[in-house]
Amino acid sequence: MSSNAERRLLKDLKKMQEDTTNDSIQAAPREDSLFEWEAVLFGPSDTIWEGGMFTLILEFSDEYPNKPPKVKFTTKMFHPNIYNDGRLCLDILNTNWSPVYDVSSILTSI
């Protein structure tokens, strides 16, 4: 039997695969674990990040969606909201987390 977290992650994956409207984000689980995802953000047009490709790792616990994932850039980034080790300082991943957020909305917020 699958856990609530597994069911929710499969639902999030299906949503990511079916959404053809947002080509600036991509995410999928690593081959060996549904609880660890790789994501790619493409820099938005008309910004200093235009043309960039930025990779992240999302780590989910078995308490997802009640607890947020750990999100970390693997691409070296210089930004006030990104720590030297790639972790993010983002309110929806900390104090303002809600189970209504899914993988797509997390990546869109980033």
Joined together, the tokens standing for residue 82 give 């990104």
Q: Is 31 tagged catalytic? A: no
Among 10, 28, 53, 89, which one carries the catalytic annotation?
Answer: 89
Task: Write the CB contacts of 26 (distance below 8 Å, at least 6 apart in sequence).
Answer: 16, 39, 40
Nearest-CA neighbor of 62 among 33, 28, 97, 24? 33
Joined together, the tokens standing for residue 83 give 């720590």
Catalytic residue numbers, as ranges: 89
